Chains A and B, each alone.
Chain A
Amino acid sequence: MDILGKNSIVTGGAAGIGLALVRKLSSNNCQCAVLDIDTDSLMRLSKEIPNIIPITCDVSDPHAVENAVNQAWAELGSIDILVNNAGIMKSAPLVNLFNKGANRLHSVDLWHQVINTNLSSAFYLTSHVADLMLQNRTKGVIINISSIAANGNAGQTAYSAAKAGLNAMTKVWAKELGRFGIRCVAVAPGFTDTSGGSQALEQQLLSQWVEKAPLRRLANPNEIVDSILYAISNDYCNATVLEIDGGLVL
């Protein structure tokens, strides 16, 4: 698929990899509806790129997602590309031996927060977008932003489970929707140089991952964007997880 003249939804598009992607898509004349929970960042992005459609949306809320997708479709006229990028990274061990009593256990609230924001959100978005694509016979591509953590990262039960779930949904949707010309691909970055990653992981921990990475550095967000664009543009790329981790093994 050539992105020129296409319409897209990018979730979590006001920061990090999502922001880099929106800049790249827009510079190639691909119209973007940008969903993000951070209204201030969306407004700043609107000033930088006036032709985006900024939509404040908590993607973990199914009703908010339905409204946002309907708004995006109404304003764009169609949607060819959906990038499920929104997510949060929170770390906690399954049992925290620093704590006493019931506080030792992984927080259930944290579990739901991470699962809802990283996994359920993609389910909500894709079900609505895919339905509109099917009803309107629009071919398209769904990109799920996974993570190297899908392989199981110690200290990240919920995040790893959410990303592994994204990989599984990618394959399911590719099989279900492929007959309608709708592809689905996951892109799984390694540790990437974004503000979200820096906030979620202590500098010491990030440095340790850099030491373990064969390339001895974090990924640049634009290197992940290049892979997303590849997945969009290659019409035979389907039902796969593109691992862009610089060779790092967890």
Chain B
Amino acid sequence: MTNNLQQLLAQIFRVSTDSISNNTTMDDIPGWDSLTHMDLIVALEQQYNFVLDGDEIADLKSIQAIDDIINKKSKG
């Protein structure tokens, strides 16, 4: 995970960057709810210039999954 992504996620979920690691899941972040998930999707699509489909969006429930989808979409 890049520092930029870590800072972006910390900003969206309103937590410190220390709280964001590859092992972090949505269960670890109380503010990660259905509404902030919308903020997350918009931010990722704008920042990385890709479009996520419904299943991809639903699967983004951990930082590792977010990191993986960014790498996959960037290569594609």
Q: Which chain A residues have a beta carbon within 8 Å of chain B's beta carbons?
A: 92-93, 96-101, 104, 154-155, 202, 204-205
With A97-B34, A97-B54, A155-B35 already in contact, 11 other A-B pairs whose C-beta atoms are closer than 8 Å? A93-B35, A93-B38, A96-B34, A97-B57, A98-B61, A100-B54, A100-B55, A101-B54, A155-B33, A155-B34, A202-B30
A98 contacts B58, CB within 8 Å?
A: yes
**Size class of the B contact interface (CB-based, 8 Å):** 10 to 19
> Chain B's nearest CB lies how many Å from the CB of A90?
13
By a CB distance below 8 angstroms, the chain B residues around A92 are: 34
B54 contacts A154, CB within 8 Å?
A: no
- The answer for the CA separation of A96 and B33 in the assembled complex, in Å, is 10
B35 contacts A104, CB within 8 Å?
A: no
- The answer for the CA separation of A104 and B61 in the assembled complex, in Å, is 15
Can you offer 7 A-B residue contacts whose CB atoms are under 8 A? A93-B35, A97-B37, A97-B38, A98-B34, A98-B61, A104-B58, A205-B33
Total A-B residue pairs with C-beta atoms closer than 8 Å? Answer: 31
> Chain A's nearest CB lies how many Å from the CB of B69?
14
Q: Which chain B residues have a beta carbon within 8 Å of chain A's beta carbons?
A: 30-31, 33-35, 37-38, 41, 54-55, 57-58, 61
By a CB distance below 8 angstroms, the chain A residues around B37 are: 97-98
By a CB distance below 8 angstroms, the chain B residues around A155 are: 33-35
By a CB distance below 8 angstroms, the chain B residues around A98 are: 34, 37, 58, 61
By a CB distance below 8 angstroms, the chain A residues around B31 are: 204
By a CB distance below 8 angstroms, the chain A residues around B54 are: 97, 100-101, 104
| A96 nearest CB neighbor, chain B only | B34
